[in-house]
């Protein structure tokens, strides 16, 4: 029991040492006893690369299990990064919520936990809460700069952007936006969250860390372009942090802003969705951007979704049918 927090130690054991120089491939081993494996474990793969004194970058993918650019870029980085290439430390966890990633689902098949709504987590909670607690109390405190990869998963698709949040601490915010610029995605976002409680982002930011995230595509896969954006972004971030030598590879980026709740559109009713604009297209206030047609009978007018502001289409629903409450699309405003 920790006297300050009143929390017991995490049950997760790292099979690597975070302070030893060199490259170590190992696991975060989370005890999980179950029908098919008495005294078994969930094994979350990770790589730690250490060389001398310098900043620590914590790089994560698979926070949601059906988002692939981060894992593609991070498994490759873990395979190829050499200790002599860096100054400082790089901690690579390509699939944070490993049970979800292995199942190809957004949330964990073990407990239905959405890792990015589970922070600060609990050492005596569900499997997903235990993972969150380990990042909260063990890994985040080691980090100076944190990059967490996301994309739209199976149900959303995004314009490829790197993002940081509007923060009360303007120094911290400015530093985060510098790293977003350095990442060099085609789009860069000043991000607004609709539901920030329990997010990894918020946990890192509340600790004063420089935190950046991405939405690089979606539809349950990655493309050659979106994976390349992730790989270049990691390189640029490590260079901007002074961990890798060399100049940041400059890339033109369009800054976007999400000025308020008018950015988000949700389905009131279920049905067949028809987007009338594509990702990156300009829309004007009042324009019909999507229609939802009831499917149980013919002859019924579709429900129209109208833009509440001028902007560009930044995210869209992927499956052809929507359910009540689904996110239909998101708009943002070029800055």
User: Judged by CB under 5 A, does residue 150 bind Zn ion?
Assistant: yes
Instruction: Output the smallest distance, CB 150 to Zn ion, in A.
Output: 3
Nearer to Zn ion, 134 or 149 (CB): 149
Name the segment binding Zn ion (CB under 5 A); options: 48-56, 61-69, 140-148, 163-171: 61-69
Q: List the end-to-end C-alpha distance of the chain, in Å, as a whole number.
A: 49
Name the segment binding Zn ion (CB under 5 A); options: 6-14, 130-138, 144-152, 283-291: 144-152
Nearer to Zn ion, 150 or 317 (CB): 150
Nearer to Zn ion, 153 or 184 (CB): 153
Strands 321-322 and 254-257: unpaired
Name the segment binding Zn ion (CB under 5 A); options: 43-51, 60-68, 268-276, 314-322: 60-68
| DSSP three-state, residue 99 | helix
In this structure, what DSSP letter does residue 335 have? -
Q: Which residues contact 188 (CB under 8 A, 6 or more apart)?
A: 161, 162, 163, 177, 180, 181, 253, 254, 255, 256
String of DSSP letters for 280-322:
T-EE-TT-EEEEEE--SSSSPPPEEEE-SSSEEEEEEE-SSEE
* Number of helical (H) and strand (E) elements in the chain, helices listed first: 6, 19
Residues binding Zn ion: number (CB under 5 A): 3
Instruction: Output the smallest distance, CB 156 to Zn ion, in A.
Output: 9
Determine the Cα–Cα distance for residues 44 and 58; give it in Å rounded to an integer. Answer: 15
Name the segment binding Zn ion (CB under 5 A); options: 63-71, 134-142, 184-192, 302-310: 63-71
| DSSP three-state, residue 210 | strand
Instruction: Output the smallest distance, CB 101 to Zn ion, in A.
Output: 11
Bond preceding residue 120 cis, omega within 30 of 0: yes
Nearer to Zn ion, 185 or 292 (CB): 185
User: Judged by CB under 5 A, does residue 89 bind Zn ion?
Assistant: no
Whole-number Cα distances in Å, 121 to 22, 189, 206, 218: 31, 27, 15, 27
Instruction: Output the smallest distance, CB 100 to Zn ion, in A.
Output: 10
Nearer to Zn ion, 89 or 150 (CB): 150
Nearer to Zn ion, 71 or 311 (CB): 71
String of DSSP letters for 178-189:
HHHHHHT-SEEE
User: Judged by CB under 5 A, does residue 137 bind Zn ion?
Assistant: no
Instruction: Output the smallest distance, CB 329 to Zn ion, in A.
Output: 17
Instruction: Output the smallest distance, CB 155 to Zn ion, in A.
Output: 11
Nearer to Zn ion, 67 or 69 (CB): 67
Determine the Cα–Cα distance for residues 83 and 20; give it in Å rounded to an integer. Answer: 11
The whole-angstrom distance between residue 38's C-alpha and the CA centroid of its chain comes to 33
Nearer to Zn ion, 48 or 100 (CB): 100
Q: Measured on CA atoms in the order 122, 63, 181, 154, is the torsion positive or negative?
A: negative
Interface residue with Zn ion among 64, 130, 137, 154 (CB under 5 A) is 64
Residues that bind Zn ion (CB under 5 A): 64, 67, 150
């Amino acid at each position: 029991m920790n006297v300050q927090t009143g929390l017991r130690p995490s049950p997760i054991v790292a099979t690597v040492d975070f302070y030893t120089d060199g490259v170590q491939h190992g696991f975060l081993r989370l005890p999980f006893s179950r029908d098919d494996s008495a005294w078994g474990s969930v094994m979350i793969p990770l790589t730690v690369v250490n060389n001398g004194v310098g900043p620590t970058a914590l790089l994560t993918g698979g926070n949601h299990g059906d988002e692939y650019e981060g894992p593609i870029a991070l498994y490759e980085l873990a395979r190829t990064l050499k200790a002599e290439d860096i100054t400082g430390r790089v901690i690579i966890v390509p699939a944070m919520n490993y049970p979800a990633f292995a199942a190809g689902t957004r949330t964990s098949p073990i407990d239905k936990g959405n890792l990015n709504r589970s922070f600060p987590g609990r050492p005596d909670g569900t499997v997903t809460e235990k993972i969150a607690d380990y990042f909260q109390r063990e890994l985040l405190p080691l980090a100076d700069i944190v990059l967490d990869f996301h994309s739209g998963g199976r149900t959303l698709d995004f314009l490829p952007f790197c993002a940081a949040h509007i923060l009360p601490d303007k120094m911290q915010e400015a530093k985060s936006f510098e790293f977003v610029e350095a990442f060099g995605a085609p789009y860069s976002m000043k991000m607004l969250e609709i539901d920030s409680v329990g997010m990894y982002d918020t946990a890192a930011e509340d600790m004063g860390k420089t935190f950046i995230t991405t939405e690089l595509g979606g539809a349950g896969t990655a493309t050659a372009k979106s994976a390349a954006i992730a790989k270049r972004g990691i390189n640029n971030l490590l260079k901007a942090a002074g961990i890798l030598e060399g100049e940041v590879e400059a890339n033109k980026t369009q800054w976007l802003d999400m000025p308020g709740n008018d950015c988000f559109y949700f389905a009131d009713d279920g049905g067949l969705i028809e987007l009338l604009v594509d990702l990156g297209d300009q829309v004007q206030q009042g324009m019909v951007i999507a229609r939802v047609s009831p499917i149980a009978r013919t002859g019924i007018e579709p429900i129209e979704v109208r833009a509440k502001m001028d902007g560009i289409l930044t995210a869209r629903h992927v499956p052809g049918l929507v359910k009540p409450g689904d996110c239909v699309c998101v708009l943002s405003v070029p800055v």
